[in-house]
């Protein structure tokens, strides 16, 4: 259905570009004429909903939905067929249930007179929810494999319909069988949103609560004021990654630091931290920069294992610096001021970068890597060539902390800035030939994250209503009487969560559960936020199923066991940073 492919791409590009253009236009009109665009905030927030769930359709089309890391362990032969069948049945069944829940939500919303901007009925914007889950269901069926596998996938649709229509009187008895089936599906490689959404459906159905409560929470979180920054900052990172910004930044940091011991390793660390900050995804950093930096490191004399480990570890090392998407999402879920989170992450982030850089210096000295002399002319030329990329964080943070723009407006400014630098000034990207593809790739990533976020918030809503976080806090308080012991247990738990889940879904699911416990031990919210983010970041490196390990194995074409050995020194170093940040909160809350 080629027409559908083109329509999805066109609408996604239009929506994401409009998200960037409207806030910038609103800001310009406000500054010039003291009058902006009426209702622009509502337009941008609901465009975010469309970008997110059109992106979820794209993720289904490209088979890019995130799953538990164990889902990457493909089994051969008959067992592989069994796991794919289990995953397909569960995926289509849950997607069908979510489609029905979203349809119910939109049908109820049609009875309300609420309008966006005073003219557009709210339900029209919300209609993207059932539409997206409908097409996701179809694509799960189409991608199941041969006709036998597709027949099993269709059976998942029939299963969902049969349960919803004929087994309401036995709903409570289906709770544990449904939960066990979803656990098996998770191990078989079903997408994370299927597991979270399926659990929410089973729990609400068993309690006799309308399953439309799930899309209600999905809608509430996606249209919240800070969420539009996530697709906008992500688009900025993609524009930089697809252009030649990586080459210019590598030249810059090499010219500035290449003369010192381990200078190239330091330069690689700083470049990766910069990209991870804006893309918000370690996979983008590893895939975009790995092929560029690995040959340079090896040719300069750095050991193969050290080089692959360095790029694997630094793929997510910038996630504490503003305007990190993980920091923004934690602020939204935990209801902590996002600017305060940005400030709190600076010192822990610098420590993490510094530890990795020092290890690079030690390795460079030990391996006797040749050091070129410092060349002032090359440094000046590199600074001049990369000046536009270097100024990008200044533009983003200056507009926020200077009071010139809201967080969403600052994110939109960075998109326009990156677009102009990459298409007009450097001409790395053609505005018509290249940029639409970059936007589609960005929307695909955002969709994969947002559909998880929406389902996770639906599940969290059930857990909060059932007072699960409060009961867990009371249990912990009764069995653990030491704050230090609680922090240690929290570190271990979050490290395991970071192994198995991506950082976005982990934040959405786990933060509401841990907040009451942390409050019981009088842990500052900013301190808790840094503990969360650093542990989840470290989980990407933790064998056997850390996400960065799989991505690096794929990108560098090295065996997974070799990636375990390469990442181990960095895992130990960053683990010490975790303990430092955990037990010395002054590093975070001592920042004025």
Q: How far apart are CA 284 and CA 246, in angstroms?
A: 12
The pTM of this model reads 0.83
Looking at residue 108, its pLDDT comes to: 92
Checking DSSP bridges between strand 115-116 and strand 120-121, what pairing results, if any? antiparallel
Looking at residue 174, its pLDDT comes to: 82
Q: Which of 297, 461, 275, 278 is nearest to 364 (CA)?
A: 297
Q: How far apart are CA 320 and CA 581, in angstroms?
A: 13
Residue 435 CB contacts under 8 Å (≥ 6 apart), including other chains:
239, 419, 423, 429
458 touches 214 (CB < 8 A): yes
pLDDT in tens, the chain (592 residues): 788 889 999 999 999 999 999 999 988 888 788 787 888 889 999 999 999 999 999 999 988 887 765 454 555 666 677 888 889 999 999 999 999 999 999 999 998 888 898 889 999 999 999 999 999 999 999 988 888 889 999 999 998 888 876 666 667 788 888 899 999 998 888 988 999 999 999 999 988 888 999 999 999 989 988 889 888 988 888 888 788 887 888 888 888 888 888 888 998 898 888 888 876 555 667 766 777 788 888 888 899 999 999 988 887 788 888 888 888 889 988 889 988 998 899 999 999 999 999 999 999 999 888 888 899 999 999 999 999 988 988 888 888 778 778 888 888 999 999 999 999 999 999 999 999 999 999 899 889 888 988 898 888 888 888 888 788 878 887 888 888 899 998 988 888 887 767 677 778 888 888 888 898 888 998 999 999 999 888 887 887 667 777 777 767 877 878 888 998 999 999 999 999 999 998 888 775 5
Looking at residue 288, its pLDDT comes to: 66
């Amino acid at each position: 259905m080629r027409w559908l492919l083109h329509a999805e791409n066109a609408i996604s590009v239009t929506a994401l570009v409009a998200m960037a253009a409207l806030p910038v236009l609103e800001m310009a009109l406000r500054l010039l004429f003291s009058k902006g665009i009426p209702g622009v905030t509502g337009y941008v927030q609901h465009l975010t909903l469309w970008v997110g769930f059109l992106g979820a359709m794209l993720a289904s089309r490209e088979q890019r939905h995130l799953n538990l890391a164990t889902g990457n362990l493909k089994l051969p032969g008959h067992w592989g067929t069994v796991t794919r069948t289990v995953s397909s049945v569960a995926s289509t069944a849950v997607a069908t249930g979510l489609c029905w829940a979203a349809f119910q939500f939109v049908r109820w919303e049609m009875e309300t007179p609420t309008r966006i901007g005073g003219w557009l009925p709210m339900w029209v914007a919300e209609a993207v929810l059932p539409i997206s889950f409908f097409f996701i269901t179809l694509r799960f069926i189409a991608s199941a494999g041969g006709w036998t596998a597709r027949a099993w996938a269709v059976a998942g649709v029939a299963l969902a319909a049969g349960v919803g229509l004929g087994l309401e009187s036995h709903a409570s008895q289906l709770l544990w069988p449904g939960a066990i089936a979803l656990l098996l599906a998770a191990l078989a490689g079903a997408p994370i949103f299927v597991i979270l959404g399926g659990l929410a459906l089973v729990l609400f159905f068993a309690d006799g609560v309308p399953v439309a409560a799930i899309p209600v929470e999905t809608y509430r979180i996606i249209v919240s004021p800070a969420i539009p920054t996530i697709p906008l900052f992500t688009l900025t990172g993609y524009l930089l990654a697809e252009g030649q910004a990586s080459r210019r930044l590598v030249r810059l940091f090499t010219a500035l630091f290449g003369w010192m011991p381990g200078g190239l390793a330091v330069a690689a660390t700083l470049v990766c931290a910069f990209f991870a900050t804006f893309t918000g995804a370690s996979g983008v950093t590893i895939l975009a920069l790995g092929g560029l930096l690995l040959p340079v490191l090896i040719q300069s004399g750095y050991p193969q294992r050290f080089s692959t480990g360095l790029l694997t570890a630094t793929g997510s090392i910038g996630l504490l610096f503003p305007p990190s998407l993980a920091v923004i999402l934690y602020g939204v879920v935990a209801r902590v001021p996002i600017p305060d989170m940005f400030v709190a992450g600076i010192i822990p982030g610098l420590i993490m970068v510094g530890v990795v850089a020092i290890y690079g210096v030690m390795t460079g000295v030990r391996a006797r890597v040749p050091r070129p002399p410092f060349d002032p002319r090359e440094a000046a030329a590199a600074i001049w060539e990369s000046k536009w990329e270097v100024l990008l964080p200044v533009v983003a943070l200056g507009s926020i902390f200077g009071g010139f723009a809201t967080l969403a407006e600052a994110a939109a400014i960075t998109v326009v800035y990156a677009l102009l630098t990459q298409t007009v000034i450097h001409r790395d990207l053609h505005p018509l030939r290249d940029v639409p593809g970059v936007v589609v790739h960005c929307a695909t990533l955002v969709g994969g994250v947002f559909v998880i976020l929406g389902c996770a918030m639906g599940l969290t809503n059930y857990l909060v209503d059932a007072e699960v976080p409060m009961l867990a806090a009371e249990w912990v308080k009764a069995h653990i009487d030491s704050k230090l012991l609680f922090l240690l247990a929290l570190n271990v738990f979050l490290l395991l969560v970071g192994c198995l889940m991506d950082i976005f879904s982990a934040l959405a699911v786990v933060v509401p559960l841990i907040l009451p416990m942390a409050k019981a031990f009088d842990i500052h919210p900013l301190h808790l936020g840094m503990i969360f983010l650093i542990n989840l970041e470290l989980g990407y490196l933790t064998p056997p199923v850390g996400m960065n390990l799989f991505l690096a194995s794929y990108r560098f074409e090295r065996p997974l066991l070799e990636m375990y050995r390469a990442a181990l020194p960095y895992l130990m170093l960053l683990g010490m940073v975790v303990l430092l940040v955990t037990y010395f909160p002054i590093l975070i809350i001592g920042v004025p």
